[in-house]
Structure 1
C-alpha cells in the first residue's frame, strides 16, 4: 500500500449510525423521561451534524481524551476502596487484635462487617444512583468512607471497630455499581474489559504491604496500626474533592466535551443497544431483571468467586505469618498477591476484548488457575514454604475471572432501570461472597485454615458451572434472534430505553 493510500485509510470517514428518530421525536414532544438521555444529545445536535461523519483518527483522539478524564479518577477510587478494606490485614500484624481484645471469631466478623454494611446500604444507594447526579452522590460516599477510615484509629473495642467497618462498607457499596455504570455509558462492549481491568485493579494489597512495611519502622507510643488507618482515610477524603470537581456524570453533562464530541460518543455507542442513562424508574424492567434466569447464574458465579476474596483479604497476612515469617517479612511477602491479581486481570481482560463470542468460555477456563493454587495449598505440607507461597500467589489470579465477568454482564444488560437494579444486585452477590469468605477461616484451624481452602475449591467449581451455563443461555438467545440481528432491527430501537430481552435485535456477548 502506498503512503498516500495509508493516509487516506487513516482519515477515512466513519458513517454515523441512524439518529434514532423515534427517540428524538419523544424528546421533541415532551416525553424525555421515557427515553435514554442520549436522545437529548441527538435532538440537540443531530440537525447541526447532519449526515457528517468523523475520521477514525478523530475518534481515537476523542477516546484517549475520555480515557484520561475517567480512568485515572476511577482507578484511584477503586484502589482506595480496596486499600480501606485490606488495611485491616496490615493492622493485624501490628497487634490490633491484642490492643482491642479481639477474641475467637471476632476478627472474622470484623472482616465481614463492611459487606454487611453494603447489603444494608445498597438498596437506598441504588435508588439515589438512579435519581441523583451520579458523580455528586458518588463523591459524597467517597468522603464518608474516608472519614470512617480515620475513625477506625480511635476504636478501643470490637464493637467500635465493627460499627466503623460496617458503615465504611455501606458507603463503599456504591463503588462497583457506579464504576460499572459509568464505563457502560462511555464505552462499547469490546472496549469495556480493558477499562474494567485497569479501574477495578487489585494493587491495594501491594500498597497495603508496602505501607505496612514502611510504618513498621515507626517507633513511638502511638500504635502503628492507627497510623495505617489515618493515612488511608486522610488521602481518601482529599480524593473525594477530585471526584466531585473532575469526574463527568455522563456524556450529556460533560462540560469539557464539545457538542461534536458528545455527538460522536453517543453515535458510536448506538450499535451496542445498551443505552446511557434515564432518570425514570420503570417497574417492568425491575420485574424482568429478577425473572431472567441469566441474572441468577451471574449472581451465583459472583458469590462463588468472592468467597475466596473475602477470606484472603482478611487473612492473607495471618496465613503468611503462620508460615513462620516476622511482621516486616510478612508485609513484603503480602505484596506479590496484588501483582498476581492485577496482571492476571489485565491479561485476561485484554484477551477477552478480542472476542464477544467466546468470552464466557475464557472466563470459565481462567478459573482453573486459582483452583490449582487452592489445590496446592491444600495438598502440600506446611513445611514446604516455597510450595505454600506459590500456591497462595496463584490463588490470587481469582480476580481475573471476576473482573472480566463484569464486562460480560455490562455488555449484556440494556434498559437503564434494569442496569441499575442488576448492578446493585450483583453487588449484593459480591458482598454475600465476601461475608461468607472470612467465616470459612476458623480461628481454631489456624495457621493452616483448612476449611477456608476447601471452601475455595468448592466455590471455584460452582463458578465454572454457573458461567458456562450463562454463556449457553446467551448463545441460545442469539440463535433465536439471528434474523432480527442480521436485519439490523435494533437500529430502529436505539435510545428507547428498552431492555435486552425486549429488543429482538439485541446481540448478547457470549
Structure 2
C-alpha cells in the first residue's frame, strides 16, 4: 500500500462524525508495524477522544498550566472518589462488625454458615463482573455507575428485614451491583490522569477502604454502646444508615462526575482540550463503545494478564478472610470483649490508610523509581506481619503483626495501577479488567473458607494460608517486573535499529490500538 492510498484520519473522521458511521467504521486509514513485527490495520473505529484530539493538537501546555489543571482535576474528583469508595467499602465490612453485634445469633447461624454468608457477596461479584464491565463500556460510565450505586443502597437498606435465606440472597445481589465500582474507577482514573500519576491517585481512592474501616467501626461502636436506645437491634441500624448514605452518594455521583473529560462541567473549553493533550502520552484515550474481537483474543492470550490474574487471587485470599473475620479474631483469638474488639479494629484502618499513602508517596516524589519495587517492599512487610500473626507466641507480637500486615493493600493498588498504565485497547482493557476482578472475587471467596469453625478460635490454617499467599505474590510481581523491563528494552533496541526509517503515525495515541499493536507504547514499571 502506497502513502497515497492511505486516507488521513481527519478525512475518515469527518465522514464518521457527519453521520455515515456504519459505512466508515471499518475503513482503513493507515497501517503500522507492531512491536512484534506484525502489520496492523488502523481503522476509523478509533477512540472517543480522537474528535477532540484533532482540535487539541495545536495546544501547548506550559508546566505551570499543567500543574494548575492537575490541581483542579484533583480538587473536583479525588475527594469525591475517596468518600464514595469509603462508603462503598463499608457495605463489605458490615458483616464483620455486625457478626459480633447480634447478626449471627438473630439469623440463627451455625457452623460455617457465616463463612458462606461472606462468600455469597463475592459469588455475586464473580458472576456479574464481566456483564458489569461490558455495561460500563457500552453506556456512559458515570451514569451507569450512579445507577448501580442507587440499587445497591436500596439492597443494603432491605437487609435487616430479611431472614437467613433472604439475607444470603441480598448479599449475592449486593456483590453483583458492587462489581461495577472498581472497573468504573479504573476507567475514570485512566481518562483523567497521566500514567505516572495513576499509582498515587489509585492509592488515594483505594486506600479509602481503610477510611471506611475507621468510620464503619467507630459508627458501629457508637451504636453498640447505645444499643438500648434503639427499637431495633443495633446491627440493623448499621445497614439502614449505610444504605441510605449510598443512595445519596449515587444521586451525587450522577450530577458531579462527568462521563469523560470532554463533558466536564467544571472545565472551560480550553481546559477540556488541555486534558486530552495531558493524556496523549498514555496511548490509551478515553474509550471505545464497540467490542473488538481481535482485542478479546489478544487479552486472552497475553500471559501478563494471566500473571496478574493469579496474583489477584493470591493477594485477595487474606483480604477475603480478614475483611469478615477480623472482629471475630480479636474477640475469640485475642480475647477482647465485643466493645473492645470494635475499637481495636480502628487501628487496622489507620495503618491501612496512612501506611499505604506513605509507601506510595515514595514513588510519587521520586524516592523510588518503580512502583513495582514499592509494591514488593510493602508485600515483604505484609509477609513479616502475617508470619508474626501466624507463628508468634506473644499476644503483643501477634497483634503487631495483625496491624502491620494491613500495608498489604499496596499490592492490590499497585496491580490495578500497573494494569491502568500498561494495558491499552479499550476492549482489551475492559475484558482484562473483568478478568482481574474475577480473580479478586475468587480470592475473596476462598478467603473466608480458610477460616474453619472447627479451628476456632485460633484458625491456624487460615493464618498459614495468608503467609503462603503473600510469599507467592512477591514471586509473581518480580516475574512481571522482569517481563515488562525486558519488553521495553527490546522495543527500544528495535526503534534504534530503524533509525530515520521509522515514521510516527499522527494521533496514533487515539487510534484504539492495544499495547502490543502500538509501536509507540512503553510499559511502566
Q: TM (normalized to structure 2)?
A: 0.88
Give the corresponding residue for 1:12.
Answer: none
The 2-side partners of 1:494 and 1:22 are apart by: 15
In structure 1, the partner of 2:37 is none
Which of residues 357, 375, 387 in structure 1 aligns to 2:397? 387
Q: Deviations over 1:110-139 (max 9, x none)?
A: 111111001111122111111101111100
Which one is further off, 356-365 or 245-254?
356-365
Match of residue 305, structure 2, among 256, 280, 295:
295
Give 1:327 shift.
Answer: 1.4
Which of 211, 216, 219 is the equivalent residue of 2:219?
Answer: 211
How many angstroms does 1:344 deviate by?
2.1
Deviation at 1:485, TM superposition (A): 5.7
* d(CA) in 1 for partners of 2:258, 2:194: 18
Match of 2:510 among 476, 495, 499: 495
8 Å contact kept, 1:23–1:39? no
Pick aligned residue for 1:364 from 368, 376, 396: 376
Aligned partners of 1:458, 1:380: CA distance in 2, in Å?
16
The more displaced of 354-363 and 447-456 is 354-363
Mean CA deviation greater in 263-272 or 168-177 = 263-272
Moved more, 239-248 or 261-270: 261-270
Residue number in structure 1 paired with 2:429:
419
2:330 paired with 1:330: no
* Inter-partner Cα distance in structure 1 for 2:505 and 2:108: 62
For structure 2, which runs of at least 5 residues remain unmatched after alignment?
Answer: 1-6, 17-23, 26-43
Matched, 1:172 2:178: yes
Instruction: Tell me which residue corresponds to 1:111.
Output: 118
Going from structure 1 to structure 2, the CA distance change for 1:302 and 1:485 (only over 3 Å counts) comes to farther
- Counterpart-to-counterpart distance in 2, 1:54 and 1:358: 26
Query: What is the CA distance between 1:483 and its match in structure 2?
Result: 4.1
User: Counterpart in 2 of 1:476?
Assistant: 486
CA RMSD, Structure 1 to Structure 2 (Å):
1.8
CA distance in 1, matches of 2:241, 2:425: 41
Maintained 8 Å contact 2:283/2:509? yes
Q: CA deviation at 1:203?
A: 1.5
The CA distance in 1 between the partners of 2:71 and 2:437, in whole Å, is 29
Q: Distance in 1 between matches of 2:504 and 2:149?
A: 38
State whether residues 363 and 369 of structure 2, in contact with CA within 8 Å, keep that contact through their aligned partners in structure 1.
no
Q: Quote how far apart the aligned CAs of 1:42 are.
A: 2.3
Closer, same or farther: CA 225–138 of 1 in aligned 2, 3 Å:
same
Does the Cα contact within 8 Å between 1:340 and 1:394 map onto a contact in 2? yes
> Which of 362, 378, 399 lines up with 2:390 in the alignment?
378
Q: Relative to structure 2, which stretch is displaced further, 441-450 or 24-33? A: 24-33
Distance 1:221 1:253 in 2: 47
> Does the aligned pair in 2 maintain the 1:440–1:455 contact within 8 Å?
yes
Which position in structure 2 is the counterpart of 1:28?
A: 14
2:469 corresponding residue in structure 1: 459
Give the 5 Å matches for 1:186-225: 186-201=192-207, 202-216=210-224, 217-219=226-228, 220-225=230-235
Q: Distance in 1 between matches of 2:169 and 2:252?
A: 27
Change in Cα spacing, 1:22 to 1:354, as seen in structure 2 (3 Å) is farther
The aligned counterpart of 2:40 is none
Structure 1 CA distance, aligned partners of 2:521 and 2:117? 44
Q: Write the distance in 1 (CA, Å) between the matches of 2:452 and 2:514.
A: 44
Equivalent pair of 1:153/1:229 in contact (CA under 8 Å): yes
* Deviation, structure 1 residue 413: 0.6
154, 157, 170: which one aligns with 2:161: 154
Residue 500 of structure 1 aligns to a residue in which SS? coil
CA distance in structure 2 between the aligned counterparts of 1:83 and 1:150, rounded to whole angstroms? 13
Asked if the contact 2:199–2:371 (Cα under 8 Å) also holds between the matched residues in 1, the reply is no
| Superposed CA offset, 1:9-33 (max 9, x none) | xxxxxxxxxxxx9544442231576
Alignment of 1:282-321 (within 5 A): 282-321=292-331
CA distance in 2 between counterparts of 1:164 and 1:388 reads 35
Distance 1:268 1:475, change over 3 A: same
* Structure 1 Cα separation of the partners of residues 503 and 142 of structure 2: 34
Query: 1:214 & 1:392 partners in 2: Cα distance?
Result: 24
Partner of 2:143: 136
Equivalent in the alignment of 1:185:
191
Deviation of 1:357 (Å): 5.9
Could you say which residue in structure 2 is the equivalent of 1:66?
73
Shift of 1:230: 0.7
**Aligned equivalent of 2:58:** 51
